[in-house]
Structure 1
Amino acid sequence: MSTATTVQRGRLTLQCLDPASGATLLRDQREAQLTAVTEVLPDPPCVDIYVMAAPGKESGARAEQAVQAADARGWHIGLTICETAAEGTNPVRRPQLSRLLDRIARGESDGITAVSRTDFSPFDDEYEALLNHLRDLGGFLVLASPETDL
């Protein structure tokens, strides 16, 4: 893309003057939702751990990183789910991620903790759609590594 190109992704319009601007805007959106949800909870949140692993790859170290991110905040941990990349990058096509989203919708979990946004999608529009869906459910996403670290 040229430096003057504007790209429409979901509700987020990115001015591609700085390659990190999209990551920064998505991080800010995610963190605002985290704050909005956790400020009104009477108790520490309960989060589920989500790890995406390539087929045949070990996911234990990534799961441990996500657990540490939740533990560092003093949060309760519900389920820990590892899913393989065989289902593609679109989050809505992942049955285990759908399971965690259903738990948020039912009030069984407040949010999801993962290592990085690459556990969901490398594409801004798909990742933004996930953040919007979590917001609509009343949930949040916490990452051990922020979007701007990619």
Structure 2
Amino acid sequence: MREAVLSRAVERLAATGTPVRVGRYTLVEPGQDPACRLAETQAVVDRLSWQAPITTFDSTGMTDPAIRPQMARLYAAICRNEIHGIVAVSRTDISTFSCVYADTLTAIQARGGFLALARHETAI
């Protein structure tokens, strides 16, 4: 489902000649350097020739995505049409819990956005 939403969004933007704009995001533990994980998101942006006006991370550890400050920033940017989606390294940047991950995908999609992952859906 995530990939279908992503594909439709990218196709729609391409049809209108609109560059894909994303927010690069990762979740790290407090004190952990996000640079390596953010580099993985940049590789996706570069490979697909997308634009990434926002690069951010939360250092809250595995908390509910709905209460993470930078995730909220990305939600708001999608609502304002500043970005079209979020690029994260893996689903663990969202949540290790399937139901929380699914709820977050629904929240992103309800705002008109998509989630792209640098790694396969099942990778950590």
TM exceeding 0.5: yes
CA distance in 2 between counterparts of 1:38 and 1:32 reads 10
Which residue matches 2:87? 113
User: Map of 1:54-73 to 2, 5 A cutoff?
Assistant: 54-73=29-48
Equivalent-residue separation in structure 1 for 2:119 and 2:51 (angstroms): 20
Deviation by residue 1:76-121 (Cα, 9 ceiling, x = unmatched): 11110011024x4211010110000100011110000010111110
Q: Per the alignment, in what secondary structure is the counterpart of residue 138 of structure 1? A: coil
Aligned ranges for residues 72-91 of structure 1 at < 5 Å? 72-86=47-61, 88-91=62-65
1:123 alignment counterpart: 97
Q: 1:1-150 maps to which residues of 2 (within 5 A)?
A: 29-41=1-13, 42=16, 43-86=18-61, 88-150=62-124
Task: After the TM superposition, list the runs of 4 or more consecutive aligned residues in structure 1 that deviate by more than 2 angstroms.
Answer: none
Number of residue pairs the alignment of both structures matches? 121
Unaligned runs of 5+ in 1: 1-28
Q: Secondary structure at the match of 2:122?
A: helix
% same residue: 37
Provide the aligned C-alpha RMSD in A.
Answer: 1.1
Q: Over alpha carbons, which structure has the higher Rg?
A: 1
Q: For residue 5 of structure 2, what is the amino acid of its counterpart? A: Q
With normalisation by structure 1, the TM-score equals: 0.77
Distance, in Å, in 1 between the alignment partners of 2:79 and 2:116 is 17
CA-to-aligned-CA distance 1:15-74 (integer Å, 9 cap, x gap): xxxxxxxxxxxxxx1101101211111222000101111111111010011111111000
TM normalised by structure 2 equals 0.92
